[in-house]
């Protein structure tokens, strides 16, 4: 059964927007930068931007993959912009960020999947913003260990890669991804840089069962993941996968408890949680 699009009350109340929204919008346009906040039509944009924080999306705004939940455009990307890392770092400086989150589209057509641009972005952010911490949310690089190593050698403070959903639903939700490969990437990231906490997350409301969710959480712990994010899937448009269920707040709270019992250092669980939502606060516990 497909439930109607009308949202339950806890998904209709949103925090008020802050003052910085227009400012960030102007900054991103002036530097020709993209954010996942806009491209993925994140429901938190007014709150995050209002408070002067955003998540950069590097390597263009066209993705080579076509995940069923994601609003980012699929197609053939343009070339690689080697000036982009520096512009991201300048924007971080202008925004005065102490914690920057950088993600990207998938660039499966590139030899290193865009890993070198990730590394350059981390280094540029550090160069122009001493003391600023950097979290990267990367693709799976098609399971290419060497590409991942390029990113980890640049020493991100937190490494994030999302499993997005339970393995049974991959064909519909993440058709070009492989569950085991994503777990492997997380494990390698920890091995390559044990000092950096690793992080992953998934959405609820796509048709997963409670037991399947717990299984994924156990898998993530078995691959040494430290930080977990759990949020409600919200359909970006009618072209995207339908919402199977609105998950009640109590269930998010119960999963947080389960996660803590399993040994995650931090669990962020709630309907509006996205992997970059309050990322700094999420990482604080794990970074010590
Ligand atoms: Fe952007 Fe993340 Fe905030 Fe959404 S939760 S608006 S993607 S920073
Ligand atoms: Fe969206 Fe990432 Fe999937 Fe591309 S790989 S469609 S950006 S979720």
Atom in ligand 1 nearest the alpha carbon of residue 45? 6
pLDDT at 125 over 90: yes
The whole-angstrom separation of Cα 226 and Cα 44 is 24
ipTM, two decimals, is 0.97
Looking from the CA of residue 57, the nearest atom of ligand 2 is 7
Percentage, residues of the chain above pLDDT 70: 96
* C-beta of residue 243 within 8 angstroms of C-beta of residue 233: yes
SS3 for the chain is CCCCCCCCHHHCCCCCCCCCHHHHHHHHHHCCCEEHHHHCCCCCHHHHHHCCCCEEEECCCEECCCCCCCCCEECCCCCCCCCHHHHHHHHHHHHCCCEEEEEECCCCCCCCCCHHHHHHHHHHHHHHCCCCEEEEECCCHHHCHHHHHHHHHCCCCEEECCCECCHHHHHHHCCCCCHHHHHHHHHHHHHHCCCCCEEEEEEECCCCCHHHHHHHHHHHHHCCCCEEEEEECCCCCCCCCCCCCCCCHHHHHHHHHHHHHHCCCEEEECCCCCCCCCHHHHHHHHHC
177 close to ligand 2 (CB < 6 Angstrom)? no
Using a 6 Å cutoff on CB, does residue 70 contact ligand 2?
A: yes
pLDDT grade for 169, boundaries at 50, 70 and 90: very high
| Mean pLDDT, rounded, of the chain | 94
- The yes-or-no verdict on residue 34 having pLDDT over 60 is yes
Residues facing 159 on adjacent strands: 136, 198
Nearest atom of ligand 2 to the alpha carbon of 164: 8
Mutate to test the pocket of ligand 2, among 56, 63, 64, 103 (most ligand atoms within 8 A of CB): 63
Cβ count within 10 A of residue 282: 27
Structural domains in the chain, CATH included, are: 9-287 (3.20.20.70)
Ligand (nearest to CA of 73): 2
Does the pLDDT value for residue 12 go beyond 80? Answer: no
Whole-Å CA distances, 171 to 40, 104, 177, 231: 20, 22, 8, 20
| The predicted structure's pLDDT at residue 4 | 56
Residue 27: how many other CB atoms lie within 10 Å = 16
Q: What is the predicted pLDDT for the residue at 170?
A: 98
Question: What is the number of the ligand 1 atom nearest to the C-alpha of 53?
Answer: 8
Choose the residue to mutate in 46, 48, 51 for probing ligand 1, maximizing ligand atoms within 8 Å of C-beta: 48
Residues 174-197 have pLDDT tens digits of 999 999 999 999 999 999 999 999
Give the mutation target among 70, 110, 142, 201 for probing the ligand 2 site: most ligand atoms within 8 A of CB: 70
Ligand 2 atom index nearest CA of 105: 7
**pLDDT at residue 5 in the model:** 62
Q: How far is the CA of 130 from the centre of ligand 2 (A)?
A: 31
**Cα 46 to middle of ligand 1, angstroms:** 9
- pLDDT, residue 257, reads 98
pLDDT for residue 31: 97
Report in angstroms the alpha-carbon separations of 254 from 213, 232, 277: 12, 14, 20
Give per-residue pLDDT as tens, 139-162.
999 999 999 999 999 999 999 999
Q: Quick one: average pLDDT of 219-234?
A: 97
């Amino acid at each position: 059964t497909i439930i109607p699009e009308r949202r339950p009350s806890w998904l209709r109340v949103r925090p008020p927007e802050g003052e910085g929204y227009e400012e960030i919008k102007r900054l991103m346009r002036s530097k020709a930068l993209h954010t996942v906040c806009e491209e993925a039509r994140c429901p938190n944009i007014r709150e995050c931007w209002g408070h002067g924080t955003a998540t950069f999306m590097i390597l263009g705004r066209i993705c080579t993959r076509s995940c069923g939940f994601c609003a980012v455009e699929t197609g053939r990307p343009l070339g690689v912009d080697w000036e982009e890392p520096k512009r991201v770092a300048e924007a971080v400086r202008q925004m005065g960020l102490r914690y920057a989150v950088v993600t990207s589209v998938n660039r499966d057509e590139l030899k290193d999947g865009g890993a070198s641009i990730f590394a350059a972005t981390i280094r540029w952010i550090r160069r122009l913003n001493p003391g600023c911490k950097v979290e990267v949310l990367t693709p799976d690089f098609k399971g290419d260990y060497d590409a991942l190593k390029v990113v980890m050698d640049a020493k991100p403070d937190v490494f994030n890669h999302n499993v997005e959903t339970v393995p049974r639903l991959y064909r519909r939700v993440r058709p070009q991804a492989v569950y085991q490969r994503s777990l492997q990437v997380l494990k390698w990231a920890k091995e390559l840089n044990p000092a950096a906490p690793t992080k992953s997350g998934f959405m609820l409301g796509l048709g997963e069962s409670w037991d399947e969710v717990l299984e994924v959480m156990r898998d993530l712990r078995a691959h040494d993941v430290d930080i977990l994010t759990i949020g409600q899937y919200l359909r970006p448009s009618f072209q995207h996968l339908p919402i199977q269920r609105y998950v009640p707040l109590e269930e998010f709270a119960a999963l947080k408890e389960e996660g803590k019992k399993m040994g995650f250092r931090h669990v962020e669980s709630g309907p509006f949680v996205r992997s970059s939502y309050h990322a700094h606060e999420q990482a604080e516990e794990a970074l010590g």
